[in-house]
Structure 1
Amino acid sequence: MNTFTETIQSRKRLLENHLGDFMGRLAKRCAKGWGDRRELDQVLHDAYDNCDDAPACRLLYIVDVDGVQLSSNVFADGKFDEGRVGQDLSERPYISKVVPSSGFFLSDVYISQTNRRSLITAVQLVRDGSEAKGFVCADFELSMLPEIDQPSEDRRIWMQVKGDPSIRDTLFMQSRATSPMDERIDDVLATIDELIVERGIFHAKLHFSSSRATLWIYDDPYRYRVHVLDEILNPSVCLAYPLRSYPEDALVPQNMVREILERFKWLREVDETIYLRAGSLNIINGIVALNFSCDGSHYLPYEEFMEMDESFWFGSA
């Protein structure tokens, strides 16, 4: 399973392999013209003709070992910006970074100040024999570089996110108000259980405090449906969704759906001050999401959710 961080690192390795040869060849040509700014500008200009990723390369420039820019900014459209010569770039993270033995590395992704798009900078050490002379840098538009098809997988770990501090500060000045959904909660849970188990809903969020439900259907996952309480309680709501077998790729066992929904009810009712405002279940990735009256949110695998008792939820509140 690829975690979020592992996926980012694997994509950076792909880009390093993809860009490394080009940057290495460019550094050798820069070494030959070192000391002559006009020559270096021309080397960078000509480099676009030898770069398969020229459309993605936003600009090229050269800095010395102290981070002072020696060349113009040379753009893919052939324009030169000589006004950048002499600027101090030593504080930029990709200039002050420890250089690996290969002399090549990629910056972290950052946002362009010009067009507010994601960029990444490829940096190659320029050597004259064994002497380090400086660096040649290439800014690339991230959206135009090659991608890998495998996305990061969901992190099936417990995450807690704190909400609005003003809500937490006044927590003990409030108490749960019974909502219309609370008054019919057993009927609501029965309907949601049927929609998930038999009607192709793979992700359901119950907004207990505002008496509505948001549903995502397996056959049409890019659009969600919002139902107010009257619609949820209408037995005909099930006719609005096609009869479907329970998904084979669901991580949540079919017989656990109702138990999870019942646990939502328990968290809603067990305490008058710290109570569940909204809860969601995604049966495909097996994640339960909870939002409490203190505005704190939890995201956790359903297995852990079902193991946690009252002392966990309210002993640590």
Structure 2
Amino acid sequence: MKSSWKECIYVQREELAKKLREPLAHLAEQCASAWGDRERLDEILAGSFSSVPYCAYLYCLGTDGVQICDNVSQTGLAREHFGRDRSQRPYMKEAVPAWGFLLSDAYISMMGHRPSLTALQVVRSGSDMLGYLGADFDLRDLPVTSELYEEPGYWRQVKGDPAIRGTVFQQCRVDSPMDGNLEQALSILEELLTMRGVFQCQIHFSSSQATIWTVDDPYRYRMLDHEALSDPDICLIFPSRPYPHDATIPQHNIERILATMRALRFADQTIYLRTASINIFNGMISLTFSCDGSHYMSYVEFLLKDTSFWF
């Protein structure tokens, strides 16, 4: 897997550009001979439309960004686009490289309001630049050729609502119903995580609830309120499951992680833990404190930090 989503995008764009450069360059050469002739350009684009893979629309633009032919698609011509000024569209504001081909950054289309991108090929007659051949693509029509990225395992901090941060020292933690029974609630969650097929758990300390996902039904979450987290009988309705062999977090570390979260909940009356989550497969822990700052890190890094680090 790739190390970041940006790297995945780069690989995906490179693969797409390789498939588009040659057919668009060849088509631009044909358009140069008919430049300024609307009907002839429509005919050339329609005749070669299938040569541009995944394309939604083809059209030609003058150097000023004004369209000089109709939109050509698989279903025919859209004549209402003739004379359309595209000069302010995102792809027209990007610099076309010296070799005359640009694959734009993705943008939201005006018509369908969907993620799209545009390829521009410079059209030349000798050394003179005539304009551009444009090809629009709906991201839904493009194949995914790169591997899905992995979430980075290093510690990341995300700042939250500035209004909350600005008044953090004017507040004080108020015991929630879960706080009064936290040791038992966390013991129930430990049982669910280690023996009952729960692989992700988000604990809302302040609102006394937990949201869980199970390996038996991973696409739906379930909410356990304070009453459920106070009753060990809740474990009876979740079937016993062996701890996943491919889990990143070792089974014996779940108890330590929950104990550390409990300590962070009670360590300070002003800066305290509000919500936390565990995912045993990617090994990540998330924490959101009363100052609305969120932290994401691997379970190893989390266990290496004691309460003095946070306060």
Q: Same fold (TM over 0.5)?
A: yes
2:83 to 82, 85, 96: 85
Query: 1:119-134 residue pairs with structure 2 within 5 A?
Result: 119-134=116-131
Whether 1:233 aligns to 2:234 is no
Whether 1:107 aligns to 2:108 is no
> Which residue is equivalent to 1:63?
61
CA distance in 2, matches of 1:311, 1:68: 63
CA distance in 1, matches of 2:231, 2:280: 24
Deviation at 1:209, TM superposition (A): 0.9
Query: 1:6-45 residue pairs with structure 2 within 5 A?
Result: 6-45=7-46
Identify which range, 128-137 or 227-236, moves more after superposition: 128-137
Query: 1:1-317 residue pairs with structure 2 within 5 A?
Result: 1-2=1-2, 3-53=4-54, 57-81=55-79, 84-85=82-83, 87=85, 89=87, 91-100=88-97, 102-148=99-145, 150-314=147-311
Deviation at 1:46, TM superposition (A): 2.4
1:138–1:83 distance in 2 versus 1, CA, 3 Å: closer
CA distance in 2, matches of 1:141, 1:13: 17
1:79–1:171 distance in 2 versus 1, CA, 3 Å: same
Assess if the C-alpha contact under 8 Å between 2:20 and 2:53 holds in 1. Answer: no
CA distance in 2, matches of 1:159, 1:76: 46
Assess if the C-alpha contact under 8 Å between 1:71 and 1:82 holds in 2. Answer: no
1:105–1:270 distance in 2 versus 1, CA, 3 Å: same
CA distance in 1, matches of 2:193, 2:86: 59
Assess if the C-alpha contact under 8 Å between 2:198 and 2:213 holds in 1. Answer: yes
Unpaired segments ≥5 residues, structure 2: none
1:179 aligned partner, one-letter code = S
CA distance in 2, matches of 1:83, 1:8: 30
CA distance in 2, matches of 1:171, 1:263: 22
CA-to-aligned-CA distance 1:277-314 (integer Å, 9 cap, x gap): 11111111111111111222222222222223334323
SS, match of residue 5 in structure 1 = helix
Deviation at 1:262, TM superposition (A): 0.9
CA distance in 2, matches of 1:83, 1:13: 30
Deviation at 1:273, TM superposition (A): 0.7
SS, match of residue 221 in structure 1 = strand
* Identity in percent: 44
Instruction: Give the TM-score normalised by the residue count of structure 1.
Output: 0.89
Identify which range, 289-298 or 14-23, moves more after superposition: 14-23
Assess if the C-alpha contact under 8 Å between 2:118 and 2:136 holds in 1. Answer: yes
1:185 aligned partner, one-letter code = L
1:133 aligned partner, one-letter code = L
2:68 aligned partner, one-letter code = L
Aligned-CA RMSD value: 2.1
Deviation at 1:181, TM superposition (A): 0.9
Unpaired segments ≥5 residues, structure 1: none
Deviation at 1:140, TM superposition (A): 0.9
CA distance in 2, matches of 1:292, 1:52: 49
CA distance in 2, matches of 1:307, 1:92: 50
CA distance in 2, matches of 1:311, 1:92: 52
CA distance in 2, matches of 1:128, 1:110: 30
Deviation at 1:250, TM superposition (A): 1.3
CA distance in 2, matches of 1:41, 1:97: 26
